[in-house]
Structure 1
Amino acid sequence: MTTIPSRLARLTKSSSSWDQARSSSRSLYRQWMRAAPEIVSLYALNIPAYAIRAKVREQFERNQHVSDIKAVDVLLLKGHQDLQETLNCWKMDSHVLRWFAAEELPPRPDNFLDAFYNSRDDSKEVQPTA
């Protein structure tokens, strides 16, 4: 598949009303939902499409309480850019998998000793060298 950079390009636009911003947001959300299976196949991920959709939904819900219309326009621009970069394969697999990295990180230790004890590897036995 050849990459056509202008395939998903969008002009920057300012929303004149909340209704227009909402419809733009819904349109972007639908584009992401429709693109989830294509993202999985493009990057050959071992993640189902519904997991990608859940991550996208999480990002949209995280920003649902933004009350400044100019901030919403910036978020929409960034969302369109991210979609374009993802579908044109301008990202690497690690960039896409980074969406899921936050869930897999272990909790950070509270103090130095806990961090020190967690870094020890008692499961490996040291073999003496002859």
Structure 2
Amino acid sequence: MTTIPARLAQSTQVSKSLEEARKRATALYRDYYRSAPEICSLYALDVPPSVMRAKIRSKFEQNRHIQDLAVLDLLLLKGRQEYQETMNVWKQVPQLMKWFAEEEAPPKPEGFLQKFYASRDEGRAGV
């Protein structure tokens, strides 16, 4: 497949209202959602499209509460850039798998002693 850099490029937009920003966010979400099977096949991921779609939804849900138009426009710009880079295969597999890293990470220690032992064990890993 030939990479066409301008294939998914869009000009920068400034939202005039929250409704307009919501429509742009919905369009971006739909683009990602429809492309999940293609992303999995382009990068030969051992993740089914349903899991990819669930991860995409959770990423969008994290920013659902934001009401500032400037922040929303910036997030939409970055999201659109990520989409273009992903679909043009300008990323590597580890960059995509980073989306799933937080689920595979061990739980963070909570108490003082657990944090102490965890930091001590990290120091011994290099020995």
TM-score exceeds 0.5? yes
- Whether the 8 Å contact between 2:18 and 2:67 is mirrored in structure 1 is no
User: Which SS does the other structure have where 2:73 is aligned?
Assistant: helix
Q: How large is the RMSD of aligned CA atoms in angstroms?
A: 1.9
Residue in 2 aligned with 1:25? 25
Change (3 A) 1:114 1:6: closer
> How far apart, in 2, do the equivalents of 1:44 and 1:75 lie?
27
- Partner amino acid for 2:51? A
**TM score, norm. by length of structure 1:** 0.86
Counterparts of 1:19-98 in structure 2, within 5 Å, are: 19-98=19-98
Deviation per CA, 1:53-93: give whole Å up to 9, x if none: 11111111000010101111111000000000001111000
Change (3 A) 1:90 1:112: same
User: Which SS does the other structure have where 1:7 is aligned?
Assistant: coil
Residue in 1 aligned with 2:104? 104
Aligned pair count reads 121
Instruction: State the identity as a percent.
Output: 49
Runs of 4+ off more than 3 Å: 114-120
User: Which SS does the other structure have where 1:56 is aligned?
Assistant: helix
Deviation per CA, 1:37-63: give whole Å up to 9, x if none: 000000000000011111111111000
> How far apart, in 1, do the equivalents of 2:53 and 2:73 lie?
22
C-alpha displacement of 1:15: 0.7
Residue in 2 aligned with 1:124? none
